[in-house]
Amino acid sequence: MTAKTTPKPPTVRPLGHQEHGMLIGQLALVLAPQARTLPVSVSLLLLLLLAWRWLLWRQRAPLPSKLLIGVAAVLVLVIAAALVWQSGGRLGRELCIALLAAFVILKLMETRALADATLVSQLSFYLLLTLYLADQPFWLAIYSMAIGAWVLRNWLLLHHPEARGRLAIWPLLGRMALFGLPWALFLFVLFPRLDHPLWRLPQSEPTGRTGISDTMKPGSIGELIRSPEVAFRADIVGEALPPSALYWRAFVLWNYDGETWRPASSTLMREAAGLRDDVAGDDLAGPAATDVHEYNITLEPTQKSWLYLLDRGVAVSSSVNAQVSIDDEFFAGAPIDRPLRYRGRSTLGAMPQPLTRRELKLSLSLPDGNPRSRELAAQWASRYPDPWQRVQAALRLFAAAPFAYTLSPPRLGHDQVDSFLFETHRGFCEHYSSSFVFLMRAAGVPARVVNGYQGGEFNPVGRHYVIRQSDAHAWAEVWLAGRGWVRVDPTGAVAPSRVESGVDAALGADEIPALRDLRAPGWLRDLRWGIDGLSYTWQRWVLQYDRTQQGRLLEHAGLTGQLPAVLVGGLAALSLLALVPLWLRRRRIDPVQALYDRFCGLLARHGCTRDAAEGPSDFGARASAALPHAAPAVRAFTDGYVAWRYGAPAAQRQTDVIGRLRASLRELSRSLRR
């Protein structure tokens, strides 16, 4: 009887100490940017897990047991469940990313062989992709491409250890990137764009950034003014406008209860005028639209639906699907949870329009209280028959001492308008606009409060305005017969520099040091402008490159309506060009040397790696000793290769040598599997 031989299991190549360290560093670089969006507690948990794995590697300690890893996994799930319970049962995007990251680290705890390392590398790519789920700044694209190249390099070294001494890895990856770059650019520019994404990822919790709200009371805008965060950016078509003309309207406040201003209880909507992004110069109806300005706005996420337009907006991009109220407030069709770019068109100054009964009632209504302010307004009403004279009287009051502009006003009493006008005399824009509108209504002049932003810094690098939360502002509008709603900014009477030069010019040096440092002159400011210009360009031409911009590009190239033909022709040309390097390389590569490279790679996967300075005969002898069950095949291949490479080439035909080497390579592969 012949004894049956049990097949040997395939050889599992263990990872070396250096390869473990490479995986730990790789995962740390992949997870580092996640700290921008993950909660602090979750980031600390991931840091602790990664530090645990690093300490084990540093001390060359054995990896933890499966029981200990299981306990750690259960602990992670318990913490995740507690966070879900704390958030009201919402399993959000950030928590899912954190769970994936935690379990990848735990997988690294038990990584001992090549297969485990391969899985960790693959999951590293998924974690890189999750960085783009929150936002997509330009620096993140550069960072992720660099780390992606690093992961590819590590992957190559894991599967081909011999490549470290025999291959220029970074030039190889550079050639691969250059090879794919034309395809990426071509498909990005010409592949048909969608007006909206295929899906919208849900948020775990509202993530709107700080911004103005639809109510106003003393101190509300004063708190917002301390924030240097960007609210939106705007580039105006044509010549730049003076700062005094940059009033970015958000919404109108009608109702006042003695402390807080609110919008009207019901907002009447009218049909919004659509403006195509790729068409300029559409006619506007009406004789009042003489001073028309067009501009583009890139709005940061707010989780609110209102849009900002310059002064009196008359049209907005049709792609926004906006609604507009009779008060010239524009609202997007959904809350803005990602950067939104739209084109607007506005007229500067008042537009003659009638005053409806509803508007008259709203613009003259006042709550009880503030008797001293009512008395002063009554004196103006009896002294000045012209409403505009009453407006000027109020502005003269604010321009005179002891009124002052400050972010730290004293606390107001029960009758807030009286307390401000006759006692404290110190306040911010909401104090002046609120008291001004109260005085006008008490004097019989229809008036209302308008919230939005005023001013903005001009970036000479990107040729656009940067409007920050610190530019939040409140002003007033009064209705005058024959002129309509006229803007009046009482803050400009007490602090003209606020309107002309920005909020930091109107306040003391100790009130907004962060904002003053941000706008400090010198090379640092130039650097900020350069970074901001790059960010704006990235948003405009990459993140928000949509069907409209694609159509405009084709129109300028004279290819309107020919997108399918251009796409097919371009792909065919790129496919043909891709074959040229392959054909040239096929002519350059020595087929015998290619077989020897396969031979070395096969042995390296089974733990026998050829040194850079090791000759074929020495390597063959060492491999035969290390792998005795495959020694005959190793010797046969090595002898054939040495005879061809170092013998007399004329004595053999290359085709015969290649055939024998391929046969020896197949036999070696079978021997290694046994």
Q: Name the residue with tokens 């042995």.
A: 603
Q: Which of 439, 449, 447 is nearest to 378 (CA)?
A: 439
Q: What is the residue-wise DSSP string for 396-458?
A: HHHHSTT-EE-SSPPPP-SSHHHHIIIII-EE-HHHHHHHHHHHHHHTT--EEEEEEEE--EE
How close are the terminal C-alpha atoms of the chain, in Å? 22
Q: Please give the torsion angle defined by the CA atoms of residues 511, 517, 521 and 526, in that order, rounded to the nearest 10 degrees.
A: -140
Q: Are 596 and 205 in contact (CB under 8 A)?
A: no
DSSP 167: -
Q: What is the residue-wise DSSP string for 251-305?
A: EEE-EE-SS-EE--SS--EEPPPEE-TT-------STTTTSEEEEEEEEPP-SS-
Q: Are 20 and 111 in contact (CB under 8 A)?
A: yes
Q: CA 374, CA 383: separation in Å to the nearest integer? A: 14
- Overall size of the chain counted in residues: 674
Q: Are 328 and 312 in contact (CB under 8 A)?
A: yes
Q: CA 225, CA 457: separation in Å to the nearest integer? A: 15
Q: What is the residue-wise DSSP string for 573-630?
A: HHHHHHHHHHHHHHHHS-HHHHHHHHHHHHHHTTT-PPPTT--HHHHHHHHHHH-GGG
Catalytic site residues?
429, 473, 489
Burial grade of 591 (CB within 10 A; 0-12, 13-18, 19 or more): middle
**89-127: burial string, b at 16+ Cβ within 10 Å, e else:** eeebbbbebbbebbbbbbbbbebeebebbeebbebbeeb
* 3-state secondary structure string across 37-69: CCCHHHHHHHHHHHHHHHHHHHCCCCCCCHHHH
